[in-house]
Amino acid sequence: MHEIVITGATGFVGSALFKALLADADCSVTGVCRVLPEGCDTQSLVALGSLEEADFSQALQDVDVVIHTAARAHVMTDEAVDPLAEYRRVNVEGTANLARQAAQVGVKRFVFVSSIKVNGERTQKGRPFQPDDTPAPEDAYGISKLEAEQVLKDICADAGMQYVIVRPVLVYGPGVKANFLRMMSWVHRGVPLPLGAVHNKRSLVALDNLVDFLLQCARHPKAADEVFLVSDGVDLSTTELLQTIGAALDKRARLLPMPMGVLSGLLGLLGKGAIAQRLGDSLQVDISKNKQLLDWTPPYTVDEAMRKTARAFLDGQ
């Protein structure tokens, strides 16, 4: 039986992973979080405070694998005085603290959920990111994730602990927040959107597909000391994404075919150039390594995952 510890077990990705492992008869799992949620009634979840200061020794006893999902997440408007220092405190120092303690007690494998932002912010259409591309993070969050990867590799090299680094693209699924939730709300309310002529390509990953891939990384012998990018294996334009969301919600997305150049110009005049980039840029990843090395393909289609996301959204209305 595998003994697994998950950090960030109450977060968006971590909670789904924790739930999947609780239902797995071949695993014994302990979830670690900063603060226990109100009404928590499971002994498999423990609160250990901040990552960079936590004593994980009790939770890590006899553990085979750590799956580290906890992080200071990327935020669009960061109010910290020094955002990079805050990201480093949690994402770099916290990862180093956990990895050192895991190595000391003999954990065999450390699976680290990083970010595609380590690779960069955009790709040329048809030229996806590869796992071995030279990293090119552009913001504080991406820099902190790259530094966390580097410190993890150093600790593993010294201790003989295996690492697996996974860089997801944008994750969607039940409970999704931020921009994806806003898009679903716009489509649900029938808001006309000037996004009917956007011909970029972006990779996304469904929460259930990411969970399945992380479990494969925890178990597969050939995952050791490798870096992976993960997506649904289907890339969508912003226009296609909104149409797919509409179909899942049983609503017709009201899209106006405004040329992207015109939209970018208008948003730029309004000081919203960064929004135009996110709507119009391509960001694609190549997951052929996952298929070839780990014999993994995404178990859920985009349509299946989007319908599940939509049902959870509608249930919350």
- Give the distance from CA 267 to its chain's centroid: 28
Active site annotation includes 163: no
**What distance, in Å, lies between the first and last C-alpha atoms of the chain?**
41
Packing angle between helix 260-269 and helix 273-280, nearest 10 degrees? Answer: 160
User: Cα-flanking dihedrals φ and ψ of residue 128, to 5°?
Assistant: -70, 155
How far apart (Å, rounded) are the C-alpha atoms in residues 39 and 37? 6
How far apart (Å, rounded) are the C-alpha atoms in residues 194 and 277? 14
| Residue 107 per-residue DSSP state | -
188: left (phi over 0), alpha (psi -120 to 50) or beta: alpha
CB neighbour list of residue 153: distance below 8 Å, 6 or more residues apart: 163
How far apart (Å, rounded) are the C-alpha atoms in residues 55 and 66? 15
User: Cα-flanking dihedrals φ and ψ of residue 71, to 5°?
Assistant: -170, 165
Catalytic residue among 87, 141, 163, 172: 141
Catalytic residues: 141
